[in-house]
Amino acid sequence: MNIKKEICRLILLGITVLALPASGTERVQAGVWNDTDGNPINAHGGGILEHDGVYYWYGERKGDHTYRSPGVGWECYRTEAGGVSCYSSRDLKNWKFEGVALKPDTADHTSDIHPTMVIERPKVVYNDKTRKFVMWMHIDNHSYSAARAGVAVSDSPTGPFTYIRSERPNNSESRDMTVFKDDDGKAYHIYSSEGNSTLHISLLSDDYLSQSGSFCRNFPNRFREAPAIFKKDGKYYMVTSGCSGWSPNEAEWAVSTTIMGPWTPMDNPCRGKDADKTFYGQSTFILPVGKGSDRSFIIMFDKWKKDDLVDSRYIWLPIRFNGDTLTIPWTDTVDLTGSATDFAAE
């Protein structure tokens, strides 16, 4: 063996190892999150579907120009509705842009998905019986007074999704929303209603394309928005925001033994600096990662920039449990395996 050569090889190996990022499973919260083409990820108010080992991230595709809706009293900042983006990933870190899965209808000025409308908080679930991907989203007009839910369908997770219609579910207003698919294959539409004062949970039809007619009213007069929901050890957990437009407020978690309630509102799960402002974020989705006893949960927040909405950022944090109590401590980097074991003490 040539000792000199071997020493050089070992030094080079050491340098290479040191130059590698600390871990391939971590993401730094701060800064712009780019896709694999180097473009900022444009998928706000989004959610993630895992299908056949691939994660699909759907979200609002915001236009470049932010403006205030004319004639609307409150701080109604808007961009053109650019439809719904789709990104794919196997590791939750590297996201490939798959295109605009639901394209806006630029031709028909009366369409729900014309760029002058509001298309927010899209969520996609897969229907095992029909083998269709079903997207629900908040559809609104320039003043958010339409308060409707739209539905679209596709044969493929990356789209194209075909827009079907919008409705006021169960004849009630529907703004911020999510969709939750339970272990038994039933899916639920969860939406802020009654002037955002009350959160409805509505069982969808077997094909997920309409409401079944069975729904419940939760948290009356508590004005909860931005619902994100998951199930752990037979219990249902929900994180919501308060109701202050694009400005941050205090989150709240709630728990129930059945999805249709009664839900018990708890307190603010956030811990650390700016916990009373949800770290300047607003909940949008809770993603289960891993299987069985290794299963953990990552909560996704939007960090809105109301005067430049397309530059809004993302915050993802693992959820931590102390028994049945849920907490969300701040961490500067997020472990994308959802591991919550190495958090600093609260």
CB 164 within 8 A of CB 134: no
Cβ nearer to ligand GAL, comparing 47 with 157: 47
For the bound state, the minimum distance from the C-beta of residue 139 to ligand GAL, rounded and expressed in Å, comes to 11
Indicate whether 252 belongs to the interface with ligand GAL (CB under 6 A): no
Q: Which amino acid is at 274?
A: D
For the bound state, the minimum distance from the C-beta of residue 137 to ligand GAL, rounded and expressed in Å, comes to 11
Cβ nearer to ligand GAL, comparing 216 with 243: 243
CB 251 within 8 A of CB 280: no
CB 293 within 8 A of CB 314: no
Cβ nearer to ligand GAL, comparing 126 with 136: 136
Question: Judged by CB under 6 A, which of 35, 112, 173, 176 binds ligand GAL?
Answer: 176
Cβ nearer to ligand GAL, comparing 245 with 288: 245
12: number of CA atoms within 13 Å, CB side? 6
Interface mask toward ligand GAL for 38-57; x: CB under 6 A: -------x------------
For the bound state, the minimum distance from the C-beta of residue 243 to ligand GAL, rounded and expressed in Å, comes to 6
Nearest to 178 by CA among 44, 1, 46, 339: 46
Indicate whether 225 belongs to the interface with ligand GAL (CB under 6 A): yes
Question: How many residues of this chain bind ligand GAL (CB under 6 A)?
Answer: 9
Residue pointed to by tokens 């063996």:
1
SS (H, E, C) 40-96: ECCCEEEEEEEECCEEEEEEEEECCCCEECCCCCCCCEECCEEEEEEEEECCCCCCE
As a whole number of angstroms, the longest Cα–Cα distance in the chain is 81
Indicate whether 280 belongs to the interface with ligand GAL (CB under 6 A): no
Q: How far apart, in Å, do the first and last CA atoms of the chain sit? A: 53
For the bound state, the minimum distance from the C-beta of residue 239 to ligand GAL, rounded and expressed in Å, comes to 13
Nearest to 215 by CA among 188, 194, 239: 188
CB 286 within 8 A of CB 230: yes
For the bound state, the minimum distance from the C-beta of residue 31 to ligand GAL, rounded and expressed in Å, comes to 23
Indicate whether 121 belongs to the interface with ligand GAL (CB under 6 A): yes
For the bound state, the minimum distance from the C-beta of residue 138 to ligand GAL, rounded and expressed in Å, comes to 7
Q: Mapping DSSP to helix (H, G, I), strand (E, B) and coil, where does residue 145 land? A: coil
Cβ nearer to ligand GAL, comparing 282 with 327: 282
Question: Judged by CB under 6 A, which of 97, 246, 280, 343 binds ligand GAL?
Answer: 246
Residue pointed to by tokens 């989150």:
251
CB 228 within 8 A of CB 300: yes
Cβ nearer to ligand GAL, comparing 218 with 282: 282
Cβ nearer to ligand GAL, comparing 120 with 335: 120
Indicate whether 245 belongs to the interface with ligand GAL (CB under 6 A): yes
Closest-CB residue for ligand GAL? 245
Dist CA 303 CA 118 (whole Å): 19
- Judged by the rule CB under 6 A, the positions of this chain that interact with ligand GAL are 45, 120-121, 176, 225-226, 245-246, 282
